[in-house]
Amino acid sequence: MGKLTKDMNEILPDFQKFLLDRSMASEKNVPFLAYWVSRYLTFARKRDISTDDYQEAAVIESLNMLRADEKILDWQPRQADDAIKLYYFHYLGKSGAELSPSMTADDVPLTIKEVRRLIRLRHYSYSTERTYLQWVERFFSYALTGEKRLADLTSTEFRDFLSHLAMKQRVSASTQNQAFNAILFLFRHVLGKDVGDMGNTVRAKRGLRLPVVFTVDEVRQLFSQMSGTYLLMAELLYGAGLRLMELARLRVKDIDFDANTLFVRSGKGDKDRSTVLPSVVKERLQEHLKGVKELHEKDLTAGYGEVHLPNALGRKYPNAGKEWAWQYVFPSSKISVDPRNGRVGRHHISDTPIQEAVKNALRKAGIPKHASVHTLRHSFATHLLQNGVNIREVQSLLGHKNVETTMIYTHVLRDMKNAPQSPLDALYGKQQ
């Protein structure tokens, strides 16, 4: 295995370095992408086909030959196709958007399309895709004024846009960082330009903010105003410390009732982790899943019942999307079309309904706090620490990369009964 990896790493080493330097593929996949390009180049040279440019007919022919090979898995020709496009459209300087010095603002739709294609090539989530595209469009609206062309855009416009967001729009630090990541993606992977040092950019600054946390009694009051599926979802958010989208994307296979464990797949930072499944919800959750299974069986009968699978699993296991284990625990009430592949199926529940349910319960309970769904996760961490759970264990359950992130809850935890006596109390105490 070691020699095979070594040999793979020696195939088109400059191309592999290019992919790694620009984070255009994961480290483990880069040698395989180089391998597929090498196979195509060998194929083209044997047929006296030019390898200087992207030859669509030759690529199609080579991929068809690949598909005819019984030893090749279903997903590998698609990986080969992606590899060849990365080689020609990016490594050789021929962007998929085919930017030229004459491109103007009228060519923005072509560039937007290329941004979307490259995002999907990297298997980013659909929410990330939408966010990136919105920021790219806002950047173009800001930067492409007058006679300015796409090819004229430089890091100067990039810095000016970020400064504009901080000084004129007064956006938060997290919003500006979101914009930064989206525009950086545009420059590196679509425009093929180095942004250089961004040190002169005016950045939105964020001071220390303590999270809003419910008391145990407030959680009880909140839940008393909820019922049904929304109560079950809120209880899991609090009882397992889940983020909202981690709950929405939870699949049947990710629940281990025997071990009282929930598995979070591809959470924040694309990391997996496990957390606790509260015993008190197990029976209701099992009953809920019976209804979900009945709905799934009806969908299958109607010709639907296929869910989106992460990364390349849909290509590797074509029928897995219809299996019960891969279904969402909290599916949408409606059938919809997946915008990424056009397939009709049942997606997971939207984040809006549970947000509204918690907001309404908060109002009915009369809890005077500026809280949200995420407050339940904050409360989970704080109450665990309050009960004596080790902070490293809490860090693991939350999926934090650094314990410093988890430490914020120790500030909230401070027992005010042991705080110094207020001088005002001392003042009136002396008078009494």
Q: Where are the domains of the chain?
A: 2-91, 105-190, 216-412
CA distance 222 to 139: 41
How many other CB atoms are there within 10 angstroms of residue 67's CB atom? 13
Task: Report which residue type is found at 246.
Answer: E
Residue 163: band (very low, low, confident or very high) from pLDDT cuts 50, 70, 90: confident
Does the active-site annotation cover 159? no
Domain 105-190 CATH (choose: 3.40.50.10310, 3.40.50.720, 1.10.3470.10, 1.10.150.130):
1.10.150.130
Contact 277, 255 (CB under 8 A): yes
Q: Of residues 113, 268, 315, 322, which has the active-site annotation?
A: 268
Per-residue model confidence as pLDDT tens digits over 59-106:
888 888 888 887 888 778 878 888 888 888 778 764 444 444 444 445
Cα–Cα distance for residue pair 418/413, rounded to 1 Å = 12
**Is 377 tagged catalytic?**
yes
Residue in 22, 116, 284, 374 annotated catalytic:
374
For this structure, is 411 an active site residue?
no
Distance (Å) of CA 161 to CA 136, 167, 412: 11, 10, 36
Tell me which of 296, 308, 377, 378 is the catalytic residue: 377
What's residue 260's pLDDT?
94
Shortest CA distance to 240 belongs to which of 174, 346, 329, 348?
Answer: 329
Q: State yes or no: is 243 an active-site residue.
A: yes
Q: CA–CA separation, 32 vs 16, rounded Å?
A: 9
Is the Cβ–Cβ distance between 248 and 126 less than 8 Å? no
| Whether residue 374 lies in the annotated active site | yes
Among candidate residues 243, 308, 347, 348, the one labeled active-site is 243
pLDDT at 418: 62
Q: Please report the pLDDT score of residue 201 as a whole number.
A: 61
Cβ–Cβ under 8 Å, residues 163 and 202: yes
Per residue in 195-253, pLDDT (tens digit) is: 766 655 656 666 667 889 999 999 999 999 999 999 999 999 999 999 999 999 999 99
Chain-centroid distance, C-alpha 268? 7
Mean pLDDT of the 15-20 span:
87
- pLDDT range class, residue 256, cuts 50, 70, 90: very high
If phi over 0 gives left and psi between -120 and 50 gives alpha, with beta otherwise, what is residue 399? left
User: Do 93 and 192 touch, CB atoms closer than 8 A?
Assistant: yes
CATH code matching the domain that covers 2-91, chosen among 1.10.620, 1.10.3470, 1.10.150, 1.20.120: 1.10.150
Q: Is residue 4 pLDDT above 50, yes or no?
A: no
pLDDT over 90 at 330, yes or no: yes
- Strands 344-345 and 273-276, by their bridges, are unpaired
Fold classification of 216-412 is: hpI Integrase; Chain A (1.10.443)
CB 373 within 8 A of CB 358: yes
- Does this chain's domain 2-91 share its CATH topology with 216-412? no
Token pair listed for 224: 């008393």
pLDDT bucket at 340, cuts 50 / 70 / 90: low
Residue 306 — very low, low, confident or very high, per pLDDT cuts 50/70/90? Answer: confident
210-247: string of b/e by CB count within 10 Å (b at 16+)? ebebbeeebbebbbebbeebbbbbbbbbbbbbbbbebb
What integer is the mean pLDDT of 345-365?
A: 92
Average pLDDT of the chain to the nearest whole number: 84
| Length of the chain measured in residues | 432
